[in-house]
């Protein structure tokens, strides 16, 4: 039986969407692709360096050996090992970070728009939390050796609630996950978010808004 034009179009659209749903990143066509950071990256990362120039050091990153700078208002610091610092991650969909906390230190609420994350408490005791899109809070104190998974794009934070320094190692499933701090985005953006928007969103007066902004100068 011949199909009508509308049926044929419907089947074609269905086939398109089925393919879109089951599609995934293609398998690598080479063993590795050390990124050439001297070239502008494309949608899938940096072009590969010539394999004849690759050495074992391209597969090793020592950027998280030492602690990060914690002399700031948050009493915490982070060192990221993304493709921009570790070209061996190019095309692998991975990155790593080291988070250091003084007592009462906090990595403030933030999101990673392009990655899910796993955080491993290597030292200390931290209060870790996730807020979902329907405003549910999932939070508890984590101790040394415990791991939390953080779904992509959700607001989350970690705070040192112990009496000693704390340290977290985080891995993310993107070579360039991105990071957006909620408070800094709203109160530290340039040009500034209009006062009226901040007043209506956070129920703050002009004086309070200016006071918060002063922390992000």
pLDDT digit string (tens) for 69-122? 999 999 999 999 999 999 999 999 999 999 999 999 999 999 999 999 999 999
- Judge if 88 and 116 occupy the same domain: yes
Strands 106-111 and 166-172, how do they pair? unpaired
- Judge if 109 and 144 occupy the same domain: yes
Is 156 annotated in a binding site? The answer is yes
Q: What is the pLDDT of residues 202-212, one digit of tens each?
A: 999 999 999 99
Distance (Å, whole) CA 85 – CA 77: 17
| Residue appearing with tokens 């990143």 | 25
CATH for 48: 2.60.120.10
Is 117 annotated in a binding site? The answer is yes
- Judge if 120 and 166 occupy the same domain: yes
Record the pTM. Answer: 0.84
The answer to whether 97 touches 64, Cβ cutoff 8 Å, is: yes
- Judge if 75 and 120 occupy the same domain: yes
Total structural domains in the chain? 2
From first CA to last CA, the distance across the chain in angstroms is 71
- Judge if 199 and 141 occupy the same domain: no
pLDDT band at 217 (very low <50, low <70, confident <90, very high): confident
- Judge if 161 and 185 occupy the same domain: no
Residue 14 included in any domain: no
Q: What is the arithmetic mean of pLDDT over 30-44?
A: 90
- Judge if 156 and 204 occupy the same domain: no
Is 110 annotated in a binding site? The answer is yes
């Amino acid at each position: 039986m011949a199909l009508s034009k509308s049926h044929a179009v419907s089947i074609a659209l269905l086939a398109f969407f089925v393919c879109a749903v089951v599609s995934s990143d293609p398998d690598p066509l080479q063993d590795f692709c050390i990124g050439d950071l001297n070239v502008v990256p494309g949608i899938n990362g940096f072009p590969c360096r010539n394999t004849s120039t690759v050495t074992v050091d391209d597969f090793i990153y020592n950027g998280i050996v030492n602690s990060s700078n914690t002399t700031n208002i948050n009493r915490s610091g982070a060192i990221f090992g993304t493709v921009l610092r570790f070209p061996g991650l190019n095309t692998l969909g991975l990155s790593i970070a080291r988070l250091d906390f003084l007592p009462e230190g906090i990595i403030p609420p933030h999101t990673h728009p392009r990655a899910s994350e796993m955080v491993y408490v290597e030292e200390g005791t931290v209060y870790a939390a996730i807020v979902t899109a329907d405003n549910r809070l999932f939070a508890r104190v984590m101790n040394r050796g415990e791991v939390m998974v953080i779904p992509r794009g959700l607001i989350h934070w970690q705070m040192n609630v112990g009496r000693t320094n704390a340290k977290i190692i985080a891995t993310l499933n993107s070579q360039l996950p991105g990071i957006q701090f909620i408070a800094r985005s709203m109160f530290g953006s340039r040009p500034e978010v209009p006062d009226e928007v901040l007043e209506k969103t956070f129920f703050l007066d002009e004086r309070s808004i200016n006071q918060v902004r002063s922390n992000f100068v």
